[in-house]
Amino acid sequence: MGWFLPEMQPVPHRQTRATAAYAAPFLVFVGLMALERYLGLDPLWAYPLRLAAVAGTLAAFSRSLLRLRAARPAASIGMGCAVFAVWVAPDLLFHYRHHWLFENPLTGAAAGSLPAALRHSLGFLALRIAGSALVVPVIEELFWRGWLMRWLLDRDWQKVPLGTYRAASFWLIAVLFASEHGPYWEVGLAAGVMYNWWLVRTKSLEDCILAHAVTNALLGIYVVAAGQWQYWP
């Protein structure tokens, strides 16, 4: 396994701070989301507080990383549109989402968690789309492809250039990204592969963030316009 797992060596202080910059916002987001579900908190106020906490974490730890200047903006927008098409096309064309491979005790069911009252709240829906398009892509790309994809190659991950391709880390990140999306794991896997490939191709995390932002913005608009709430777990 030495060819894959990073060597376990003492981590210098600068490395710890750099890791926090890439990982802390995502961990705060996921941790608060889990807490909200466990406690059954009302998303009307819990979701804005979660976004505020993540924004504060980004400001405290990740401010220097938020340049957000894509090298290939037009192509990245196109990539985001392609991932959106991959995300919704299977359900539109084949209607297989309720097969046991996608709805089971491990993955859960494709069902929206947003209360019916909030589905008619324009303010909350606008905030939810904005959070999905402007916050989630930043924290996920920093964590998955900015940090973990490199950390899997070397514990001193900062010396690994962005977009370095190794099959094991490439596919493990794609699988982990898929697992994050529950009953949509198969389109999550496809999206993970596409975003990974885009990073390898562009060597630019900003381009991946832009592509991811376009995907999430289109998906959010589609959810609200078509009433497809199951895409918002």
Say what the pLDDT of residue 66 is.
86
Report helix, strand or coil for 198.
Answer: helix
Say what the pLDDT of residue 2 is.
44
Say what the pLDDT of residue 23 is.
97
For residue 173, count other CB atoms closer than 10 A to its CB: 21
Within its chain, how far is the Cα of 112 from the centroid? 18
Cα angle value 197/198/199 (rounded, 5°): 90
Distance CA 206, CA 75 (A): 12
Distance CA 13, CA 32 (A): 26
Say what the pLDDT of residue 9 is.
52
Say what the pLDDT of residue 13 is.
57
Say what the pLDDT of residue 12 is.
57
Say what the pLDDT of residue 3 is.
46
Q: What is this structure's pTM?
A: 0.92
Tell me what percent of the chain is helix, strand and coil, each rounded to the nearest 5. 70, 0, 25
Mean pLDDT by 10 residues, the chain (233 residues): 48 78 97 95 96 97 88 97 97 93 93 92 97 97 97 94 97 97 97 98 97 98 96 90
Say what the pLDDT of residue 11 is.
55
